[in-house]
């Protein structure tokens, strides 16, 4: 006969047990004091933590609503045709990896070529190199001139019947160049080649309309848009996303699972496996609302004037060489000083309270093209002022005094 089931409690080893003051602990969770449908909330869903798309209770539905509202905010921000073309990912890097692995491994083969540019951030180089190693495809590179402008006639020559994908940055983080992305897309589309645009540095500075650009994929990160880190967006045309297999498996991306077969969920959930960064998504939506309130066109105009002012001021300093002098630029002033390492510039500026970036900016091929190991880079936003540019110029004079 089986013994009656007995609940055992953990052995306390004879030590006196601390009293457990649940009422005091409940004060640490103010949400427990709220009413739901006129009744005190009894929260018994700690296993899911009000996850989106899964719960039937009030808080879970509230989270789902806020999450999906943010998706529509992003859709409007990019002027995408439909919310299901907006996929939440960790950032630009993950968006590009998703396309390289899902689209690339499905539709490209060993005889194919992928075209990127020589001014890509490493996040738009690495994923394609990994893909090329996996499938044996070849990476081709669009060169740029000494001002940092892509050579479109060279690009034209690279496009051929083997070219199956183009991935190009909209605005270069190292040079500030605004690429003629619409023309780049048109040139590829004339041959039926899909195009991914790395928009990480474009979205904070200018209005982006994915339908007008007619890009096939557009990637950006929340944290460059004054939103949280660890959240980003992949826009993709619905027909392409529909045709692509999931990038990761897990919860939320399935509609039915047996051990024989898993049926994938519809867009966009097919590409959002696991619990998403719900707080990050909602934060991104708030950041976009904030930008939209100021107005992207007003931001572009203000920053343009500030960049022109800063460029003029910097050009007057003897020994300064500006890296990136394209006619169309946004928000970035990369420069080197004769005989002074970029890190030394960064350190002196830091002591003056001025934060710039010194390094290769995750764009080593750009540094190689200009024959420098690193640059000092001031990147401007709409909150900067001419007085702050003046402070930068004064501090650069100080750097020259110290090291010159």
Q: Among the candidate windows 2-10, 69-77, 87-95, 100-108, which touches ligand PLP by CB under 6 A?
A: 87-95
Q: How far is the CB of 172 from ligand PLP (least distance, A)?
A: 7
The smaller minimum CB distance to ligand PLP, of residues 93 and 375, is found at: 93
Q: Cβ atoms within 10 A of the Cβ of 268, count?
A: 21
Q: Is 169 in the site for ligand PLP (CB under 6 A)?
A: yes
Under rule CB under 6 A, residue 92 binds ligand PLP: yes
Contacts of 195 by beta carbon, 8 Å cutoff, 6+ apart: 165, 166, 167, 168, 184, 185, 188, 189, 215, 216, 217
Active site residue 215: no
- Is the Cβ–Cβ distance between 120 and 169 less than 8 Å? yes
* Peptide linkage before 274 cis (omega within 30 of 0): no
Over the window 120 to 159, marking each residue x when it contacts ligand PLP by CB under 6 A and - when it does not, the resulting string is -x-x------------------------------------
The binding track of 254-293 with respect to ligand PLP, each residue x by CB under 6 A or -, is ----------------------------------------
User: Which residues are CB-contacts of 279 (< 8 A; sequence separation ≥ 6)?
Assistant: 228
Q: How far is the CB of 28 from ligand PLP (least distance, A)?
A: 33
Choose one: 194-202, 237-245, 304-312, 333-341; the region binding ligand PLP (CB under 6 A).
Answer: 194-202
CB 241 within 8 A of CB 85: yes
Minimum CB separation of residue 119 from ligand PLP in Å reads 9
DSSP β-bridge partners for residue 117:
142
Q: What are the distances in angstroms from CA 184 to CA 57, 64, 99, 173, 194?
A: 48, 38, 19, 18, 11
Q: 321: which 2 tokens? A: 């060489």
With respect to ligand PLP, which residue has the nearer C-beta, 80 or 174? 174
Stretch of 19-27, 86-94, 131-139, 308-316 lying at the interface with ligand PLP (CB under 6 A): 86-94
d(CA 34, CA 26): 12
Q: How far is the CB of 199 from ligand PLP (least distance, A)?
A: 8
Token pair 């630009």 in the structure block, residue:
92
> For residue 165, with 0-12 CB atoms within 10 Å meaning exposed, 13-18 middle and 19 or more buried, which class applies?
buried
Block residue for tokens 């980003």: 232
Q: Which of residues 54-73 bind ligand PLP (CB under 6 A)?
A: none
Report the site for ligand PLP in 227-246 (rule: CB under 6 A).
232
**Whole-angstrom distance, CA of residue 225 vs CA of residue 200:** 8
Asked if 198 touches ligand PLP (CB under 6 A), the answer is: yes
Beta carbon nearer to ligand PLP, 125 or 340: 125
Question: Pick from 61, 44, 45, 42: which is nearest to 53 by CA?
Answer: 61
In the list 91, 194, 276, 285, the residue contacting ligand PLP (rule: CB under 6 A) is 91
Q: How far is the CB of 175 from ligand PLP (least distance, A)?
A: 10
Check residue 129 and give left, alpha or beta (phi > 0: left; psi -120 to 50: alpha).
alpha
Smallest separation (angstroms) from ligand PLP to the CB of 93? 3
Q: Which of 313, 362, 372, 391 is catalytic?
A: 362
State which residue, 91 or 246, has the beta carbon closest to ligand PLP: 91
Considering the complex, state which of residue 50 and residue 97 has its C-beta at the smaller distance from ligand PLP.
97
Catalytic residues: 362
Residues at the site binding ligand PLP, with contacts judged by CB under 6 A: 91-93, 121, 123, 169, 173, 198, 200-201, 221, 232, 362
């Amino acid at each position: 006969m089986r013994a009656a089931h007995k609940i055992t409690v953990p052995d306390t080893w004879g030590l006196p047990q601390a009293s457990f003051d649940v009422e005091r602990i409940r004060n640490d969770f103010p949400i427990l004091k709220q009413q739901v449908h006129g009744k005190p909330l009894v929260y018994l869903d700690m296993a899911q933590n009000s996850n989106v798309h899964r719960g039937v209770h009030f808080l879970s539905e509230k989270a789902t609503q806020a999450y999906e509202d943010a998706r529509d905010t992003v859709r409007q921000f990019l002027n995408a045709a439909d919310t299901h073309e907006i996929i939440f990912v960790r950032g630009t890097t993950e968006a590009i990896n998703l396309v390289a692995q899902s689209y690339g491994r499905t539709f490209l083969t060993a005889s194919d070529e992928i075209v990127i540019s020589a001014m890509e951030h490493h996040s738009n180089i690495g994923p394609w190199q990994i893909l090329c190693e996996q499938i044996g495809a070849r990476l081709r590179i669009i060169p740029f001139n000494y001002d940092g402008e892509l050579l479109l006639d060279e690009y034209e020559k690279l496009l051929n019947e083997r070219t199956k994908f183009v991935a190009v940055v909209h605005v270069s983080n190292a040079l500030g160049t605004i690429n003629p992305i619409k023309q780049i897309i048109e040139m590829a589309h004339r041959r039926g080649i899909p195009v991914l645009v790395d928009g990480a540095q474009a979205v904070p500075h200018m209005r982006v309309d994915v339908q007008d650009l007619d890009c096939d994929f557009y990637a950006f990160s929340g944290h460059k848009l004054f939103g949280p880190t660890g959240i980003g967006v992949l826009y993709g045309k619905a027909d392409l996303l529909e045709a692509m297999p999931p990038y990761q498996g897990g919860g939320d991306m399935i509609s039915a699972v047996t051990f024989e077969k898993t049926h994938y969920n519809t867009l966009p959930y097919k590409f959002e496996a696991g619990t998403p960064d719900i707080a990050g998504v909602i934060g991104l939506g708030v950041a976009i609302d904030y930008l939209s309130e100021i107005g992207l066109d007003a931001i572009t105009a203000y920053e343009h004037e500030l960049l022109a002012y800063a460029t003029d001021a910097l050009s007057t300093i003897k020994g300064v060489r500006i890296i990136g002098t394209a006619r169309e630029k946004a928000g970035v002033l990369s420069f080197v000083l004769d005989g002074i390492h970029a890190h030394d510039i960064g350190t002196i500026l830091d002591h003056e309270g001025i934060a710039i970036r010194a390094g290769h900016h995750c764009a080593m091929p750009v540094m190689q093209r200009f024959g420098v190991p690193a640059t000092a880079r001031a990147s401007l936003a709409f909150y900067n002022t001419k007085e702050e540019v003046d402070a930068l110029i004064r501090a650069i004079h100080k750097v020259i005094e110290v090291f010159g």
